[in-house]
Every structure is written in structure tokens, then in C-alpha cells.
Structure 1
Amino acid sequence: MKNKKLENSVFGLFLFLANMICVEAYAQAKIGSEDLKFWYTQPAKEWSEALPIGNGRLGAMVYGGIQMEHLQLNEETLWTGGPHSYDNPDAYNHLEEVRNLLKQEKYNEAEDTAEKMMGIPKYQMAYQPFGDLFLMFPQGAKSSNYRRELDLQKALSTVSYNIGETKFTRKVFASYPDQAIVMRLESDKSKQLTFDLILTSPHTSKSEVVNETTLVMSGQLGKQKERSLIGAWEGEGLKFASQVKVIAEGGEVIAQGDKISVRNANAVTLIYVAATSFVNANDVSADPLKRINDYLAATTGKSFEQLYQRHIDDYTKLFNRVSINLGSTDENNNIPTNERLNRVKEGASDPLLTEQVFQYGRYLMIAGSRPGTQPLNLQGIWNGTINPPWCSKYTININIQMNYWVAEVGNLSECHEPFLRMVHELQEPGSNTAKTHYKADGWVTHHNTDLWRGTAPVDGAHWGMWPTGGAWLCQHLWEHYLYTGDVDFLKKSYPVMKAASEFFLDVLVENNDGKLITSPSISPEHSHGGTNKDGMSSNRSGAAVIDGPTMDGQILRDLFANCIKASEILGVDKTFRKQIAETRNRLAPMKIGRHGQLQEWQEDWDNPENSHAHVSHLYGLFPSSQINRNDTPELFEAAHTSLIQRGQNDGWSGAWRIALWARVGDGDIAYTALNSHVLHGFTTNMFSDRTVFQIDANFGATAGIAEMLLQSHNNEIHVLPALPKAWPNGYVKGLRARGGFEVDIEWKDGKLVQATIHADNDGTFKIASQGKSGGKMSIKKGQSKVWKGV
């Protein structure tokens, strides 16, 4: 009898292990399948159809033409302007007047006066396109069997087509280990590759051939007048240079002035490198020509296969950490991506496209943000115009934060580094702005910054008079610690967080109730109702400058709480900790208004008919968790009401709503926000472009999908907190949870099958699924635990 029981136990264990092996094999097969390719049957006719590649520093948009291949090129540090401070020495002289006008409810006068506090120049600098690489092929017979694709699994752009009986193939990738963009041209018959190659730039530059097989372009940005939100600049600008090496197999390479011609080759490898004179925000003394020579020299002796393998090894160790299936089948694999997107816009369901959108955000993160690079701006690293939307800056009243919401939960913590480093870099200029504009200690930055790390208010008081940008940035320092448990990182970051708090200890003022508020400030990009007869908000008409907007108090509650916890963990600053705690307790509370909504301002001005894009006062719901169902049920319902009243939207604001609806726990409305709104703003190349290209919705969509499947705030791991009916079966592997955990989730028929928690740190947390608590779970570093749900 005992032997029979033993046999059954062994057999059961065998079945369990076999099942797990099959699940793992299926997951790995899914990762490497055709499912992770965007593909098209025509070349790109315009920028919004071209496909992006990048290595964090270099970006390219690949058009995939037949008679002419076009790569539009970027290098992350080519910006207008140069080292300078935006601080306005006269700003402080107007601070008290603005505050007094706000107390007197003279909001228009306060905003007009606050214009005198703007930075000098009033507008910041702009990210610039670097140049273009063109390959011109001889005109010939019509092509057939055309296909261009972007393989998210390999970070590889491929173009293939036939002319007559000859098949031509081009492969392009951007290598992080070799700091180069590499193109391989091949044909299946010998001596078929003939083309001319040129490099151009929209800026003053020259191109010339060196060493017979290398084309070099160099130039320099210069003075500029104020234009389209871009500040004037009277000094010299950044120097820049690029070069492309032509390595032909067979045939001949001919140098012809400012172009290189290849004739009758069997295969050709092109290696493109680029650099500027930028060292840091205060130093532009680098020699870009030396830099590009060093980059190119480092590739010498490496074959295309070796360069490609180095790229694959580097990229896949990041990308392959997470796999996802939302119930997709192979039925859509044979339909071009643009057609599938159009079907979704017409109301069709396409789980495969949603999986691709999720992984596209992770792809773009790896392609656009690597350790040592600049952080992702409004367009990532992909910008094709000298007058980019909103100057392609770092907009820090929501947009850059949204870019990086995916970094930790998407298991790409390394890619968070450029953003976290920028927060540190802003402390020094922000300290000068605090002293100059407010006569305060600590540091501050407002709603925008740029390559030169500007921290003064810019663009106009209606947009820029917002002092809590730096405080929100500090939240990402804390989040990185929460996800990793890296105490050394916390030691380095705590002084930055502390100094941000010190600024507000100096500048907070009392309201009529004796509570502490910011003044002056705004609720980002939203006009309040103080200048209207009905006292209700009015989108962007009317005054925005105000004292004590709800969002500011929410951000400061987080900043102060994080400083308190960090000082306890590090065992420092007991006196300061007490001061911060007392100040936090005096912050003006959040309020519920006449429409049952969470008030955006101290006054009850919210208009239930005003579906404004920004939902700034819902910061407390997401990305913060200070408003939640368990601890603040009344505020939670008020935030829910505000979310309903603000309606749906596309673009970045729609992506924010995905995560907000996930926090409310309504997966079906979160799904609607994604499929019926955000994806409707996507263009052919799957970039988000509601009116103009802005990349934050791509990242926000990925983060929103993750939030629907896993939440980990307030010391709880909640799996499938907002699973929509449209995804009844599926799995996700490799998402990260706060506390230092990796989580795999599998579900069937809309119910959790199991969740597996892998621990990088010791931890005890509450666990829940689909709103049902499973009690506490404890786990040791290196352990994995399987939870079947309740």
C-alpha cells in the first residue's frame, strides 16, 4: 500500500514537472516566434511609417526603400544652445507680490506678475536631428515579394524584395556594445549590389571621403533666433561628426568627392558611427572627430557576424526577461501590421497586437535608454525635425516620468539609470534656482528641463510656474530602491531627496486654515475656475496660477514619507526626520467636492463636463498609492468619480488612464482605454501620434498593461488585479514587483491558475488575486514560491 502511494506521488510529481517543462518550452517558443515582428508590404513613404532602431545613444528611422534607402539619424546629445543657466535674478522680487495677489483671489493679475519670474531665456533648447544616410540604387525592373519588418526579439530591421530572379536583403541594427549602426546588404546572386552612398544633415556641415572607403560628415550648430518655443542662442553651438565605413565583398568601391559608390559587389557591410562635442551640461570640449575614429577603430577586425552576435547577446539578455501571452493565436501572423492596426481601430480584438504593443514599449526602452546615455525625451531618441514638438525636451510634469514607468516593472532596471542620474545632475542647477528665485535652501526644478539641465520656470507662467517637478523626479529614486532593495543606491540618492525636501521646508506657506501649501504653483496645464463666473475649470482658457493645487500636496506627502523611511533605513538624520514628519502632518488635506469628485484645487472648481487631458490630482491614485481602496476608501471613491468625469483620451493621457483604471480594479474599462483610445492614436510604425509624435504613450501603454496584470504597492503583491474579459487565458513571465521579486502569472477562463514568486531579497508581504486576499507570504532570498490563489 505504501509503495502504491509512493508510485502515485512520484507519478504526480512527474506530471507536474512535465507540465512545467511544457509551459517553459511554450514560453520560450513564443519569445522566438514570428509573433514579435511588425511587418509591412511597402516601403515607408514618410517618417511616421519608418521603423525605429537604437542603442541608447544613436537612433535611426529605417525607411526600407527600393530605389533609395533612407536612414534618418539621431545622436542623443545634439541639442541647440550650450552651457548656461536659465535663472532670472529678478524673479525673487516678484514672489511675494504673486502670493499676495493669490490671497486676494486676483488670479489674472497673479499670473501676469508671475510672467516676470520666468527664466532667461524664456524658452529652453531643442533636441535636433543629426543627419541622413542615403543609398541610391540604379533604377531597374519592378520589384516583387517586398517585405520590411522590425523584429522586436532581435532588435533587427530587415528589408527584402526580388528584382527579376534576384533576391535582395538589407539588415540593420544599432549595437550598444560597439556603439555603431550596422547595415548588411546581400543578394542571392553574385555581383548584384550597386549603389551610391551619401551623408547629409539639415545643419551646416560638409562631407568628404577619407581612406577611399570611409565617408565623414562634420559640422557645428550655431546662433539662433527664438523660434517655436525654442530659446534664442547667441554663442557657438555643439560640434558634431559622423562617418560610415564601406566594407565590400567583391566588386569595387569608388570614392567620388562627397559620396562613395559601390559597383557589382556580392555583399556589403556598412558601419556608421556618430558623436558630438558634448561632455556634460557644463563642458562641450570633446572632439567629435576623435570620438568617431575611436568608435570605428573599435569595430576593426570584427566581421558582420561577430558584430551581430555581440548585439544579440547584449540585447536579448534584457529583452528576454519578460514574455507575455494574452490568448493570441497565429491567425493574424499573415496580416501586415498596418492592416491589423486599422482593424483594431474599427473595433476588432487582436490580443497578438496587444502583446506586441507591450513588448514594443520594452523594445523602445532598451533601444532608447542605456546606462551612461541621456534619458528619453518627448520623442525618445527619434526626432526628424529641427522644430520638434515642444522642442523634444524632458517634460517633467508627467511625460518623462511616464516614459520610465515601465523600467522597473518591465524588468529593465538598468535602463532606468539615465533618468535616475539626471535627477542627481539637476541638484546643482536646481540649488542655484532655489536661491535665485526663492531665496531658499535645497533644490527645485519646474515643468521642463533640457540637455543643459535648466531648472528655472520656462515657457510662461500658465505652464511653467510649477515648483514640484523635482519632488516628483525624486519619487523615481525611491521606486528604484523599492524594486531593487539596493541600499548603496539609496545612500547616494537620499541626499538628493533630502535637499528636495529642504526646499519645501523653506517655501511652503500657510493657508487660511493654518495648513501648508505651495504658492505660487499650478495644477499642470489646467486652468482653474477662479476667473470664471461659474467658478469651474475651463481647460486651458483663463488663469492657471494658483496656490495649493492638490497634486503638489500629494507629491510632497510621498517625498516627505520617502525621506522619513530612507533616513530610518540608513540610520541618519533623526532630527530632520522629525521635522519632515511634522511638516507632512501639516500639509493641506485632499478634499471631496460638490460633484463627489476629488478636488483638483483647494477650491471646488472641478467641472464634471471638462474632460481635460491632464488628471494631475489623480497622481495620488497612480503612480502614487496614497489613495487606495483599503486605507482611504472615501478618497478612493472620489478619485474614481473624477476618473469617470474626465472621460477617455488617446495619446499619453489615455495611457495614464489605462493605469488609473487598473488601480481602480476595472480591467474592462482599462482595456477600452487601451484598445478604443490609445491604439487609435498609433501610426503605421506603431508610434503614438495623437496629433504629433510623442513617445510617452508607447511606454505608458506597456506600463498600463503591466498594471492590469500585477500591482505591488503598499506591501501587497496583487496578481490579476484588473484582468479584462477580453483576455480569458494567458500568462506573463518575468514582471517585477516592489520588494525585489520577479513574478510569473498564469490564468485560465478568467481565473488565476498560479503565480510564482522568485525572490531577490527576503520579504514578507500580503498576497491577493482578483480582489481576494490570500493572507501573508514570507520568502527568502533565492527562493521561489508557487501560489495557487484563493
Structure 2
Amino acid sequence: MLLLSIQTASLSLHADADDALTLWYTQPASEWMEALPIGNGRLGAMVYGGVQQERLQLNEDTLWSGGPHSYDNPEAYSHLATVRKLLNQGEYAKAEDVAQNMLGIPKYQHAYMPLGDLFLDFPYAQSPNDYRCELDMQNAVSTVTYRIGDARFTRTVFASNPDQAIVMHLACDKPGRIDFDLSMTSPHQHQSRLSGVNGLLMTGEVFRNPDKRGSGSRSLIGPWENAGLKFAAKARVTSDGGTAATQDDRISVRDADAVTIVYAAATSYVNYRDIGADAVQRAEDTIASIGDTPYEQLYQQHVDDYSKLFGRVAINLGGNEADENLPTAERIQRAKDGQNDPRLAEQAFQFARYLMISGSRPGTQPLNLQGIWNNEINPPWGSKYTININIQMIYWIAEVCNLSDCHEPLLRMIDELQEPGRRTAKIHYEADGWVTHHNTDLWRGTAPVDGAQWGIWPTGGAWLCQHLWEHYRYTGDIEFLKRSYPIIKGATEFFLDTLVENEDGYLITSPSISPEHSHGGGTKDGLSVGRSGTSLCAGPTMDLQVLSDLFANCIDASEILKTDDAFRTRVSGMRSRLQPMQIGRTGQLQEWLEDWDNPNDQHSHVSHMYGLFPSSQINSRDTPDLFRAAHTSLIQRGDSGGWPGGWRVCLWARLGDGDHAHDVLRGHVLPRFTTNLLNQGSVYQIDANFGAAAGIAEMLLQSHLSTDDGSQLLHLLPALPPAWPNGSIQGLRARGGFEVDIAWADGKLTNASIRSLNGTPLAVRYGDTTQTSHPAKGNRFLWNNN
């Protein structure tokens, strides 16, 4: 085994796997969950691929219900002491009842809204032949082809980030055969009118009280009686040959050889305090800026911009070559039937990266529970930012999967949460610093919402700060750290003011919850009961794990930046007094201060596993007893699909059990993907897509520990499952600033190439062997396992 410094060498580790980068189908989508998502970070669309009618369901990332306001409740603080006292007395249900008075006003936040639909109605009477609809993930282009009679039709759609527009091109191999009517509609109050040459403009406003149009009791949308966000969408048609005639609410194209449609949309949103922009002018300006740019140029600009991000990572997990060209629907059905398909795992990994690039670009809003793809006025969970696991899971892949640029919307949102979070800290807790709870929305709500059993959880902002620190760890960007340190410090200040001492002299949070899990306090046998009991408590394990990281990051950042010596000393002292993790009577890692864990309670949330992943406080080297306890807890909680399954893939990978991680991925997560690869559990959420991809990355590369001498430890193939005996991964990123390529055969590492981006000291582990080095910035190292 040899680790060599090579200045210019690079490994060619990946066989041509372009076939794995295309999702394809033999019939159009018949419902929303079969349509194909495209996006440019701000604009999203679901492409149905119809023949008699094409439908693009449309979104814009700032179109939400509500408007600028504060959710803070001036009466909340008056109940805080009572709630703490009741918790100290073990009166958990009474404490939770009183804590309902500490919720924000209103107690529900606002929701992400659909913008509308663009329709193309075609006059075809006969059924098509040779139909194929596909999504090319390598270039982010959706294409539909079919034959009617002697003519072959091709329809191409993409969402361009450089031009901030959705572009559709229609072509036919026979001249004069393209006929259609274009129209737009919206579920909100709207109007359509002509605008310029062959342009159709739709304008509207979000309902002032959208929850009244929802699906009854399931609505989690707060009331709103003031003006809502205004929006505008414009489509412009350019035809080669034939005619384009405009009417009041549609554009009719007849006898064209080819047609290009450019679509732009905007809202009146400026920031979470201001909705005074001119949506119409914004949309018109976008169309005007594109002008007469030829379709071929629009296409190339889009592909160049997108592919430079997507092309950073390639993956090959082997698989049967005979299975390479299967339709995606057949792949999904095979997964539901229990078959192992490494190609599907590859597609799921790259599809998550595709969604990240398509839905999260610098300057846009972060991805919410549905990404930027939502067709419901009353979407599941309000399609908000749920920050007790879901948004964190979405962005787990941003750094390791070489999409650090796409992390920016979340990192910027954390910055924006400071101002409202400081108000909430003062009004709800009479504390300095800033805080946010389990949900936020476009208006950057930071007060607890929904109900005490979900919302009274003060560590949402603390967990978000981990993303600031992780971005620094991966990039080494000292200027970013300088901007982030005040945010991390502010989150720390809140807890310095609000932690309380328990009877053992340790510092804990109170009140709080272990997210979305009710404990055993007050139950007959003193064991947890899923979601059906009381949740409010003091000092849940997750809180102390998150705060241990927050305080450590604050201390390290202040040392790196050589600032705040006295504050650093205070934080260090507080960190040493945090309640330690505990092992319970069945050998499990306790989720709460009390040993309430029910070994038969297979709950979806595993919040106390934060210490294992995404954190690394629990590991086999430093905390072997807690490592074994975490293993016991995971066995007791059972395997799951959806986003809980995505987290479990990561956790089993962190435990080094690639076989179990793969079993969860293959047997529970992938079978719940729909034919368009989006996750469909009881409701549609997008976080499982990202959790699955993060788990795959974690199975192949880990960089969560540092060695005793301060080197960054990279662990190659730490949890490679037997189901992937041959393969390669190229372009993963590791903490400390490294780019890593890995190849393996017959279940064994064959070689790896590691490029240092920052000159960080390096230790590389494979199996039981570890080698160390101190590479210069820009150097590449080759590990040859011969």
C-alpha cells in the first residue's frame, strides 16, 4: 500500500455511465407525481410530456402565502417559569398544556404556493407511435419524442439559470406540421392578457386567506388578511414558418416548422421585510433581456452553466450491463419487488444532485419540504422549512457531493434568521442572542409554532449553525468564517442565558422536546409511546449534542480568528457542564434524561442519533460504549423508508455496517420512490432523495474525525456493501479541503486519488491501515492498494 505525492496525475476511475444519467418513459405522466421536475434554482416546473396536451405545472421560489410580520407572542415569557417548575415536578402533561400559551401569533406559519400552469393543446386525433419521454440529468433537459403518421415530433424543455427562464422548443422532421394553442392559468386570482409581439402575460395575487381554500383540518397555514404577494408570468412565442395569432387569453400557432417558447415569472418579493417590487416589470425585463437570442444559444448557455456543477461527480456502482437501458418505471417496480439494482442507486444519487442544482442556486430561496416543486394550495406541512431534521437532511449532500455553491441559499437564510431570532429571544425568553424553533418560512418566523409538542424546541438555530461550520470545514474559506462567527456567537449567547442547572449540577435546556417523539413521563409503564403522548421535557439528549457542537464550533472559530478570548473561556466552561449522554437499561443510547426509551417503539425520528450522524461525537475510537449504545438504539428503532430511512442509511454507514445501510436503501427507501424518482410516502417530501444520496456518499467516504496530531482523517470505503463489489466514485469532497476519487474491485480498494485544496495535514485510512502526510495545496496523492 503506497501513498505518493503526484503533482499532475489524475485517475480515470469511471467508466462511461451516461445511460445511468437518463430517466426515460414510454408514456406521458398521468398525474403530478409522474411528471418530471426541472428548475433553475428560482423557477420550477413539472413536465408532463403529453401528446394531446402538454402541461407544465409552475412554481417560483418566493411565492408564499402571508406577508412580512413577526410571530412573536408578548405573553410567552410570563409562562416560562411555570412550565419549568412543572417539568421539575414531573408534571409533564400540565407543563405542555401551559406551554401552549407560549406559541407564536398566529400559531401556524405560512406556506409555499403553486404559481400555475402552462398548457399547450395540440389538435392530434390519433395516438402516437414510438413515444419516449426522458430527463437527461447530465444536461438538465427534458425531451419528448413521438411519431404521428409520417412525422416525428420533438419537444425539448429546460430551465435556464443564466437566462432566468424556462425554454421550450418544438420541432418536426416534416415542415408546417406544428399546431397548438398556448394558455396559462393559476389557482390564485389571476388575469391573462396580450403583452408585446406574440406574448401572453398572466398576473395575479396570492389569496389573502389561502387556508380557507385548503383541505380542511389538515391545513397548517396561518390566517392572513393583508395584501398578499403579487406575481406575473409571461410566455413569448417565436415561430419558424406558419403563423402565431394572439387572442385575449391564448396564443395560437399554426403550420409552423419549429417554435421556441420562452417563459419567465417573478413576484413582488424583495426580502422578508419588503414585498414592494414590480412583478410585471421583472418578468417583462427577463423576456426583454433574452430578446432575439437563438434557441441554440439559449440551450448551450444553459448546458454550460448546469454541467459545470453536475459534472464534478461521477459514480459507478457496477450492476448488470443487460439492465442498463431499462425504462425508469421498470426500475422502480423492480425495487418494489425487492431486486437489487446498483444502476437505480446510481440514478438516485445523481438525481439528488440534479435536484440540488435545479432547486438551490446562489441568490435563491433554500429548498423547502417539497423543493421548489409544489402544486397544492394546502401542501403537506405547508411546504415550509422544517428545521428539526428535514432542511438539514436536504443540504447534507451540498458539501460532500461537490455542490458547495448550492449551499449558499441555506447559509444566507441562517444569516437572515438572526434579526427576527433576536426579537424572539428577547420576547419569549428575555435572553440575548438569537433563537429559532422547529419551523420557519419565507417571512423568517422564529417563534415556536404549531403546538407545544412540536414547536417548543429551541435548538433549531443551533443546528443550522452547524451548516455554517461545515461549509468552513470543507472549504477552508476564512472570509466566510469571519462572516459566520457572529451568527454562531449569537446562537451561543442565547443558550448561555437560558440553560438551567439540573439536580445533578449539569446544564440542560428547559423547556424542550426530542423532536416529534413523546416520552414516557406519565405513562403507565414509563416508556415512550410514539406520537400519542406528552413530548415536553427538560434536557433531551439531542439538545445537548447539538449544543456541544455549537459551543465547540464557537470556541474553535474564535481561536482561528483570534478574537473574544474572555467569551471563549466562558463558553468552554459552559460546555464542560453540559449534561453527558447516558446509556439506558437495555444498553441503548437514552433519548431523554430519564430512561424512557421503549425498545418496541419503532418511531421514525431518531433525534438522539444526531451525535452519531451528522455529528461525530459518538464514534468507535473516542466513545466505544456510546457507539455500541447507538447501535442498540438503531436496532430497536427498526428500519424505515422515506426521510427516516434516508437518515438511517447515513447512520448505519457511520456505524460501518454497509450491508445494513444498503438493506435500508434497497429495501425501504428506493421502493418508496415514484417513477419520476421523487419520494412518495404518506405525503410527498423531497428530503428522502437527499438523505439517500448522503447515505451513499457516507458508505464510500467519511471524513468526520481528526487524528490526535490535528490531521484530517479520510476513511476510504468505510461501509462498502457486498452488493456493490465493483465500482468507482469521482469528485467527492472531504472535510479539510480535499477532492477524492476512489475505485474498487471484488469488494477491495484498488486505488484512490486525493487532491488537496488547502494544504491541510492528511491521514488516510483504509481497513486497518492509516497513512499520514502533509500535502501542499494543489497536490494530488495516489493510494495504490497493490
TM-score, normalised on structure 1?
0.96
Query: What SS does structure 1 have at the residue aligned with 2:535?
Result: coil
Matching residue of 1:778: 774
Give the conservation status (yes or no) of the 8 Å contact 1:365–1:415. Answer: yes
Please give the per-residue CA displacement for 1:685-744, whole angstroms capped at 9, x wherever unaligned. 110111111000001111110000000011210010000000001100000000010000
Q: State how far apart, in whole Å, the 2-side matches of 1:104 and 1:471 are.
A: 28
1:250 aligned to 2:241? yes
Greater Cα shift, 215-224 or 418-427: 215-224
Matching residue of 1:671: 662
Q: State how far apart, in whole Å, the 1-side matches of 2:633 and 2:19 are.
A: 42
Matching residue of 2:165: 180
Please give the per-residue CA displacement for 1:736-768, whole angstroms capped at 9, x wherever unaligned. 000010000011110111111101111113211
1:325-340 equivalences under 5 Å are 325-340=316-331
Question: Residues 399, 519 of structure 1: CA spacing in aligned structure 2 closer, same or farther, 3 A cutoff?
Answer: same
1:425-440 equivalences under 5 Å are 425-440=416-431
Task: Read off the aligned partner of 1:274 and give its amino acid letter.
Answer: A
Q: State how far apart, in whole Å, the 2-side matches of 1:59 and 1:330 are.
A: 34
1:430-469 equivalences under 5 Å are 430-469=421-460
Give the conservation status (yes or no) of the 8 Å contact 2:435–2:458. Answer: yes
Matching residue of 1:7: none
Matching residue of 2:341: 350
- Quote how far apart the aligned CAs of 1:222 are: 3.4
Give the conservation status (yes or no) of the 8 Å contact 1:212–1:254. Answer: no
Q: State how far apart, in whole Å, the 1-side matches of 2:347 and 2:206 are.
A: 38
Task: Read off the aligned partner of 2:551 and give its amino acid letter.
Answer: F
- Quote how far apart the aligned CAs of 1:211 are: 2.3
- Quote how far apart the aligned CAs of 1:226 are: 4.7
1:233-382 equivalences under 5 Å are 233-382=224-373
Please give the per-residue CA displacement for 1:60-110, whole angstroms capped at 9, x wherever unaligned. 000000000000000000000000000000000000000000001000000
- Quote how far apart the aligned CAs of 1:348 are: 1.3
Matching residue of 1:148: 133
Equivalent of 2:156 in 168, 171, 177: 171
Equivalent of 1:560 in 539, 544, 551: 551
Question: Residues 329, 302 of structure 1: CA spacing in aligned structure 2 closer, same or farther, 3 A cutoff?
Answer: farther
Matching residue of 1:57: 42
Task: Read off the aligned partner of 2:227 and give its amino acid letter.
Answer: E
Q: State how far apart, in whole Å, the 2-side matches of 1:752 and 1:485 are.
A: 28
Q: State how far apart, in whole Å, the 1-side matches of 2:325 and 2:543 are.
A: 49
1:742 aligned to 2:735? no
Give the conservation status (yes or no) of the 8 Å contact 1:150–1:157. Answer: yes
Q: State how far apart, in whole Å, the 1-side matches of 2:672 and 2:464 are.
A: 27
Query: What SS does structure 2 have at the residue aligned with 1:59?
Result: strand
- Quote how far apart the aligned CAs of 1:398 are: 0.1
1:484-523 equivalences under 5 Å are 484-523=475-514
Give the conservation status (yes or no) of the 8 Å contact 2:7–2:780. Answer: no
Query: What SS does structure 2 have at the residue aligned with 1:29?
Result: coil
Matching residue of 1:574: 565
Matching residue of 2:384: 393
Q: State how far apart, in whole Å, the 2-side matches of 1:288 and 1:226 are.
A: 24
Q: State how far apart, in whole Å, the 1-side matches of 2:127 and 2:306 are.
A: 36
Please give the per-residue CA displacement for 1:236-272, whole angstroms capped at 9, x wherever unaligned. 1000000000000000001111100000000000000
Give the conservation status (yes or no) of the 8 Å contact 1:160–1:170. Answer: yes
Equivalent of 1:648 in 639, 664, 670: 639
Please give the per-residue CA displacement for 1:180-239, whole angstroms capped at 9, x wherever unaligned. 000000000000000000000000000011224000000112321655110000101000
1:123-142 equivalences under 5 Å are 123-142=108-127
Task: Read off the aligned partner of 1:29 and give its amino acid letter.
Answer: D
- Quote how far apart the aligned CAs of 1:28 are: 6.9
Q: State how far apart, in whole Å, the 2-side matches of 1:325 and 1:644 are.
A: 30
Equivalent of 1:205 in 181, 190, 194: 190
Give the conservation status (yes or no) of the 8 Å contact 2:431–2:497. Answer: yes
1:98-137 equivalences under 5 Å are 98-137=83-122
Query: What SS does structure 2 have at the residue aligned with 1:27?
Result: coil
Q: State how far apart, in whole Å, the 1-side matches of 2:244 and 2:780 are.
A: 58
Give the conservation status (yes or no) of the 8 Å contact 1:769–1:789. Answer: no
- Quote how far apart the aligned CAs of 1:27 are: 3.0
Q: State how far apart, in whole Å, the 2-side matches of 1:769 and 1:457 are.
A: 45
Q: State how far apart, in whole Å, the 2-side matches of 1:697 and 1:472 are.
A: 19
Q: State how far apart, in whole Å, the 1-side matches of 2:295 and 2:19 are.
A: 23
Give the conservation status (yes or no) of the 8 Å contact 2:646–2:688. Answer: yes
Matching residue of 1:10: none
Task: Read off the aligned partner of 2:745 and give its amino acid letter.
Answer: K
1:761 aligned to 2:758? yes
Matching residue of 1:9: none
Equivalent of 1:406 in 394, 397, 405: 397
Question: Residues 160, 225 of structure 1: CA spacing in aligned structure 2 closer, same or farther, 3 A cutoff?
Answer: closer
Q: State how far apart, in whole Å, the 1-side matches of 2:236 and 2:442 are.
A: 29
- Quote how far apart the aligned CAs of 1:789 are: 4.5
Query: What SS does structure 1 have at the residue aligned with 2:157?
Result: strand
Equivalent of 1:626 in 617, 627, 634: 617
Matching residue of 1:70: 55
Q: State how far apart, in whole Å, the 2-side matches of 1:299 and 1:501 are.
A: 47
Matching residue of 2:215: none
- Quote how far apart the aligned CAs of 1:329 are: 4.2
Task: Read off the aligned partner of 2:777 and give its amino acid letter.
Answer: K
Task: Read off the aligned partner of 1:215 and give its amino acid letter.
Answer: L
1:731 aligned to 2:724? no
- Quote how far apart the aligned CAs of 1:788 are: 2.5
Query: What SS does structure 2 have at the residue aligned with 1:779?
Result: coil
Q: State how far apart, in whole Å, the 2-side matches of 1:774 and 1:229 are.
A: 51
1:89-104 equivalences under 5 Å are 89-104=74-89
Greater RCO, CA 8 A, separation 6+: 2
Q: State how far apart, in whole Å, the 2-side matches of 1:318 and 1:142 are.
A: 39
Q: State how far apart, in whole Å, the 2-side matches of 1:723 and 1:779 are.
A: 27
Query: What SS does structure 1 have at the residue aligned with 2:14?
Result: helix
Matching residue of 1:383: 374
Give the conservation status (yes or no) of the 8 Å contact 1:768–1:789. Answer: no
Q: Which runs of 5+ in 2 are unaligned?
A: 213-218, 707-712
Please give the per-residue CA displacement for 1:426-469, whole angstroms capped at 9, x wherever unaligned. 00000000000000000000000000000000000010000000
Query: What SS does structure 2 have at the residue aligned with 1:581?
Result: helix
Question: Residues 267, 225 of structure 1: CA spacing in aligned structure 2 closer, same or farther, 3 A cutoff?
Answer: closer
Equivalent of 1:613 in 583, 604, 609: 604
Q: State how far apart, in whole Å, the 2-side matches of 1:106 and 1:285 are.
A: 48
Query: What SS does structure 1 have at the residue aligned with 2:46?
Result: strand
Query: What SS does structure 2 have at the residue aligned with 1:768?
Result: strand
1:27 aligned to 2:24? no
Q: Which runs of 5+ in 1 are unaligned?
A: 1-12
Give the conservation status (yes or no) of the 8 Å contact 2:19–2:325. Answer: no
Give the conservation status (yes or no) of the 8 Å contact 1:222–1:235. Answer: no
